[in-house]
Chains A and B, each alone.
Chain A
Amino acid sequence: MPVSSEETIETILIVDDEESVRRTFREWLESSGIRCRIVTAEDAEHALREANRQPIDLAILDWNLGAGNDGLRLLEDLYVFHPDIVAILVTGFAHQATPLHAMRMGVRDYLDKNQDLDRESFLAAVRRQLERILPAKRERRLHATLAAFREAVEKILPLVQSAATLNEPVPLSEAIRGLLRFLVTAIGAQDAVLVVHRRDSKGDGYRAYDASGQRIETDLVSFAHSVAGAAISLGKPSVLDFRQPADGTVQWQSFEKGRQTVLAVPMAVSPEIQVVLEVFDKMPFTPDDQRLAGAGAALGIDLLRHALAERQTHQLLFTAVEGALQASDSITQALDPASGRRAAEPPADLVLKKLREGLAADKAAPLEADDTVRLAEAVRVLALGHGSMAVQHCIRFVEQLRELLDSVTGAGDSRT
Chain B
Amino acid sequence: VSAPSPSHLDVFAKIQSLLTPEVLLGDPRATGEGIAVAVLDSGIEESLLQSKFRGRGQDILPIRGAIFEPDRTEPGPYDGRQSSPHGTTVADIILSLAPRVQLYSADIFGSAGSCEVDVLLRAMHHAVDVWKCKIVNLSLGIAEQRLQQVPRRYQFLRAVEEAYYKDVLVFAAADNDHPLTRSYPAVFAPPLFSVDKGEFGDALRFAYRLREQVEFQAQGRGYLGPFANEPATSWAAPHLAGIAARILSLHPDLKPFEMKTILYWLSKHA
Interface residues of A (CB under 8 A from B): 197, 199, 204, 223-227, 229-236, 238-241, 246-250, 264, 266, 268, 271-272, 274
Q: How far is the CA of A231 from the CA of B89 in the complex (A)?
A: 12
Partner of A272, one of B81, B82, B112, B227: B112
Residue of A nearest to B86 (CB): A233
Residues B88-146 near A (CB distance < 8 A): 88-89, 109-114, 116, 141
Partner of B111, one of A224, A240, A264: A224
Instruction: Output the least CB separation between B111 and chain A (Å).
Output: 5
Residues of A contacting B89 in the complex (Cβ-Cβ under 8 angstroms): 249
Instruction: Output the least CB separation between A348 and chain B (Å).
Output: 45
Residue of B nearest to A226 (CB): B84
B81 touches A224 (CB 8 A): yes
A232-B45 CB under 8 A given contacts A204-B111, A238-B227: no
Residues of B contacting A230 in the complex (Cβ-Cβ under 8 angstroms): 84-86, 225-227
16 interchain pairs (CB within 8 A)?
A197-B111, A204-B111, A224-B111, A225-B85, A230-B227, A232-B112, A234-B230, A234-B232, A234-B234, A235-B114, A236-B232, A238-B227, A238-B232, A249-B82, A249-B85, A268-B113
Residues of B contacting A248 in the complex (Cβ-Cβ under 8 angstroms): 45, 48, 51-52, 224
Tell whether B212 is near chain A: CB-to-CB under 8 Å.
no
Q: How far is the CA of A231 from the CA of B177 in the complex (A)?
A: 16
Q: How far is the CA of A248 from the CA of B46 in the complex (A)?
A: 11
Instruction: Output the least CB separation between B186 and chain A (Å).
Output: 14
Tell whether B249 is near chain A: CB-to-CB under 8 Å.
no
Residues of B contacting A238 in the complex (Cβ-Cβ under 8 angstroms): 227, 230, 232
Instruction: Output the least CB separation between A127 and chain B (Å).
Output: 64
Q: Which among A231, A234, A264, A271 has the greatest number of chain B C-beta atoms within 10 A?
A: A234
Residue of A nearest to B82 (CB): A224
Q: How far is the CA of A226 from the CA of B85 in the complex (A)?
A: 8
Q: How far is the CA of A238 from the CA of B222 in the complex (A)?
A: 14
B83 touches A250 (CB 8 A): no
Q: How far is the CA of A198 from the CA of B7 in the complex (A)?
A: 67
A229 touches B48 (CB 8 A): no
Main secondary structure of the interface of B (DSSP, over half): loop
> In the complex, how many residue pairs between chain A and chain B have their CB atoms under 8 Å apart?
94
Partner of A240, one of B227, B232, B234: B227
B113 touches A232 (CB 8 A): yes
A250 touches B111 (CB 8 A): no
Tell whether B42 is near chain A: CB-to-CB under 8 Å.
yes
A249-B230 CB under 8 A given contacts A266-B113, A268-B114: no
Over the window 207-231 of chain B, the binary record of Cβ atoms lying under 8 Å from chain A Cβ atoms (1 yes, 0 no) is 0000000000000000011110110
Residues of B contacting A239 in the complex (Cβ-Cβ under 8 angstroms): 227, 230
Residue of A nearest to B44 (CB): A249
Instruction: Output the least CB separation between B120 and chain A (Å).
Output: 14
Residues of B contacting A226 in the complex (Cβ-Cβ under 8 angstroms): 84
Residue of A nearest to B112 (CB): A199
Instruction: Output the least CB separation between B38 and chain A (Å).
Output: 17
A232-B84 CB under 8 A given contacts A199-B110, A241-B229, A247-B225: yes
Instruction: Output the least CB separation between B94 and chain A (Å).
Output: 15
Residues of B contacting A204 in the complex (Cβ-Cβ under 8 angstroms): 111
Q: Which among B51, B226, B232 has the greatest number of chain A C-beta atoms within 10 A?
A: B226
A274 touches B177 (CB 8 A): no
B225 touches A250 (CB 8 A): yes
Instruction: Output the least CB separation between B238 and chain A (Å).
Output: 14
Residues of A contacting B85 in the complex (Cβ-Cβ under 8 angstroms): 224-225, 229-230, 233, 249-250
Instruction: Output the least CB separation between B154 and chain A (Å).
Output: 23
A249 touches B42 (CB 8 A): no
A271 touches B232 (CB 8 A): no
In order of increasing CB-CB distance, the 5 nearest A-B pairs are A233-B86, A232-B113, A249-B85, A229-B84, A230-B85
Instruction: Output the least CB separation between A235 and chain B (Å).
Output: 7
Residues of A contacting B141 in the complex (Cβ-Cβ under 8 angstroms): 235
Residues of A contacting B81 in the complex (Cβ-Cβ under 8 angstroms): 224
Residues of B contacting A223 in the complex (Cβ-Cβ under 8 angstroms): 84, 111
Q: How far is the CA of A114 from the CA of B41 in the complex (A)?
A: 100
Residues of A contacting B232 in the complex (Cβ-Cβ under 8 angstroms): 234, 236, 238
Partner of B226, one of A227, A236, A268, A272: A227
Residues of A contacting B45 in the complex (Cβ-Cβ under 8 angstroms): 248-249
Q: How far is the CA of A229 from the CA of B89 in the complex (A)?
A: 13
Residue of A nearest to B143 (CB): A235
Residue of A nearest to B231 (CB): A238
Q: How far is the CA of A226 from the CA of B226 in the complex (A)?
A: 9
B226 touches A274 (CB 8 A): no
Residue of B nearest to A197 (CB): B111
A249 touches B111 (CB 8 A): no
Residues of A contacting B51 in the complex (Cβ-Cβ under 8 angstroms): 248
Partner of B83, one of A227, A229, A266: A229
